[in-house]
């Protein structure tokens, strides 16, 4: 997976929370799973896949995830505390960058976002076809919600 593709996945993961902040001027606990997944993905990008200009093309291992508990097991890490702090900072910056990108895109698509909000209030559940139909009626800014990638 390319860096661009993964960054777009981060944008998608944080977009729900961004939409809440735009529409309701607050965030809720509803996006907790998305935030955890975004943070985990960003950490892999930075620490394991060498996708940080600051840390460079180096892979760091910090522990194994237990298949049943879903938590990292305590295990000695192969890097210093200062490197751990740098990894944490880079992860934070990557997720914040995704939040900013998603917010900008959603603000450019505000009419479509509000139309989706109303459809969800009216019907509670909408499928892909309905989403595409609603967004086709509101082509704010002429930009796609997500770039097309193979």
Hey, what are 99's tokens?
């939040």
pTM attached to this predicted model: 0.78
Long-range contacts of 72-80 (CB under 8 A, 24+ apart): none
CATH for 3-108, options being 1.20.58.760, 2.60.40.3950, 1.10.10.10, 2.40.50.140: 1.20.58.760
Q: CATH 1.20.58.760 residue ranges in the chain? A: 3-108
Q: Which residues contact 64 (CB under 8 A, 6 or more apart)?
A: 72, 73, 75
Q: What is the pLDDT of residues 40-74, one digit of tens each?
A: 999 999 998 989 888 888 888 755 555 555 555 55
């Amino acid at each position: 997976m390319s860096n661009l593709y993964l960054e777009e996945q981060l944008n998608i993961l944080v977009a729900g929370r961004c939409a809440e902040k735009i529409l309701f001027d607050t965030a809720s606990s509803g996006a907790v799973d998305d935030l955890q997944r975004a943070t985990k993905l960003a950490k892999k990008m930075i620490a394991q896949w060498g996708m940080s200009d600051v840390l460079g093309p180096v892979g760091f291992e910090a522990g194994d995830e237990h298949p049943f508990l879903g938590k990292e097991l305590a295990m000695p890490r192969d890097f210093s505390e200062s490197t751990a702090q740098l990894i944490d900072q880079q992860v934070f910056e990557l997720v914040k960058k995704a939040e900013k990108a998603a917010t900008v895109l959603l603000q450019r698509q505000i009419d479509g976002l509000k139309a989706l909000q109303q459809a969800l209030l009216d019907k509670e559940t909408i499928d892909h076809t309905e989403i595409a139909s609603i967004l086709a009626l509101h082509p704010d800014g002429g930009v796609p919600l997500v770039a097309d990638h193979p």
